[in-house]
Amino acid sequence: MNIDKSKQTQKVLLFFAAILLLVKVVRNQNTDLLMNEVSGLTMGNIIYNVKYKTLEPIDYRTQIDSVLKKLNKSLSTYIPESEISKLNQSGNLAFQDSVFYPVLVASKKVYLATKGAFDPTIGPLINAYGFGPDKVSKILDQHIIDSLLQFIGFSKINFNSSLITLPKGAYLDLSAVAKGYAVDIIADYLKSKNIEHAMVEIGGEVRAFGTNERDEVWKIGIQDPLIESEEYQPPFAVVNLENRSVATSGNYRNFYLIGDKIFAHIIDPRTGNMGKKNILSASVFAPNCMIADAYATAFMILDIETSMEILKADDTLDALLIYQGETGPDHIITEGIKSDIIAINKIP
């Protein structure tokens, strides 16, 4: 891992941790509703931000943290006693709660639609490259990669609503959809409390419904993948997000250095190699954030043509794809969100 980058990130996180674990309440401009804001940390060092309107100030931070902790205890490979850790150790698991099964169902759907470009059984490769819990960075030769590919393939696992079984040597890693799934669970919790206006953001993955504090559609910034600075930079695009989710994947979000070489976290589960196609950043819009998260991961592995074919085949999906064209960086926006783009920066 880039040590200097890590230290700088830690300082930023400590600063946010000191000021964000608070609840803000802002009076809505044109109605009697109040905008509540809850922020904190989850999944180790990932910042979450939740905004929701109520008639009276209501602090849901304790409930939100409880929901997130439950999710981590089920799906985090970094927690030895989590459900997924027990599954990876024993090869089978009887579900203890309701959060595990929906992820498997969604994962299978995207695995099939992307023909294996999205595959949560990629765990052995993630660990071998150094992106797993051990964080030991390595350069893998083809012999090692080939030996691990025999354990990869979501079609090799068996599951139903109460039980999952892995073949010997398999290792399930659901981190590619964890943030998106957490966003959905929090959004669904707020809806269960009759909240009609909210925005949930975890580590850049967002779901929004209703309106913001100005009684307008929520506006979400899309990060520019060509800007490497950790300081504030203007977003590549600003998008209206109405009763929808968006998740973005890009190599800038997770990488490590060995010598002067950069190794990004995007691994092609079909070949075992670092996925390096022409897409620099994929922002996917979908009804729920878990699905958006999964497709955003897959599009970073697929080329632009294949990604567009998948998008055209599913009318619930849209995307903003930034890619490396023949003459330099370029972007493409699907028809379903063109009217929602309210600002976009020019690519130099």
| Residue type present at position 258 | I
Instruction: Provide the pLDDT for residue 163.
Output: 96
Asked whether 33 and 56 are in contact (CB, 8 A), the reply is no
Question: How many other C-beta atoms lie within 10 A of the C-beta of residue 271?
Answer: 15
Whole-number percent of the chain with pLDDT over 70: 82
Work out the pLDDT band at 24, boundaries 50, 70, 90.
low
Tokens representing 47? 């910042």
For residue 32, being part of any structural domain is answered with no
**Domain region containing 160:** 77-175
23-27 and 34-42 beta bridge pairing: antiparallel
Tokens representing 243? 């009763």
Tens-digit pLDDT profile for residues 256-282: 444 544 455 678 999 998 766 688 899
Tens-digit pLDDT profile for residues 77-120: 999 999 999 999 999 999 887 899 999 999 999 999 999 999 99
Average pLDDT over residues 36-46: 93
For residue 139, being part of any structural domain is answered with yes
Asked whether 256 and 137 are in contact (CB, 8 A), the reply is yes
For residue 154, being part of any structural domain is answered with yes
Residue 23, H or E segment? strand 23-27
Q: Is the dihedral of CA 149, 153, 158, 163 positive or negative?
A: positive
Instruction: Provide the pLDDT for residue 97.
Output: 77
For residue 84, being part of any structural domain is answered with yes
The answer for 265, left when phi > 0, alpha when psi is -120 to 50, beta otherwise, is alpha
Instruction: Provide the pLDDT for residue 251.
Output: 64
Average pLDDT over residues 204-211: 97
For residue 31, being part of any structural domain is answered with no
For residue 229, being part of any structural domain is answered with no
Instruction: Provide the pLDDT for residue 254.
Output: 46
Q: How many domains does the chain have?
A: 1
* Angstrom distances, CA of residue 81 to CA of 73, 87, 180: 7, 10, 22
For residue 112, being part of any structural domain is answered with yes
CATH number at residue 90: 1.10.3980.10
* Most confidently predicted of 21-30, 39-48, 182-191: 182-191
Give DSSP secondary structure letters for 220-265.
EEE--TT---SS----SEEEEESSEEEEEEEGGGSEEEETTEEEES
Asked whether 34 and 52 are in contact (CB, 8 A), the reply is no
244-250 and 255-258 beta bridge pairing: unpaired
For residue 156, being part of any structural domain is answered with yes
Residue 136 neighbours by CB under 8 Å, 6+ apart: 130
**DSSP structural state of residue 324:** E
Measured CA to CA, the distance from residue 60 to residue 11 in angstroms comes to 27
Instruction: Provide the pLDDT for residue 232.
Output: 67
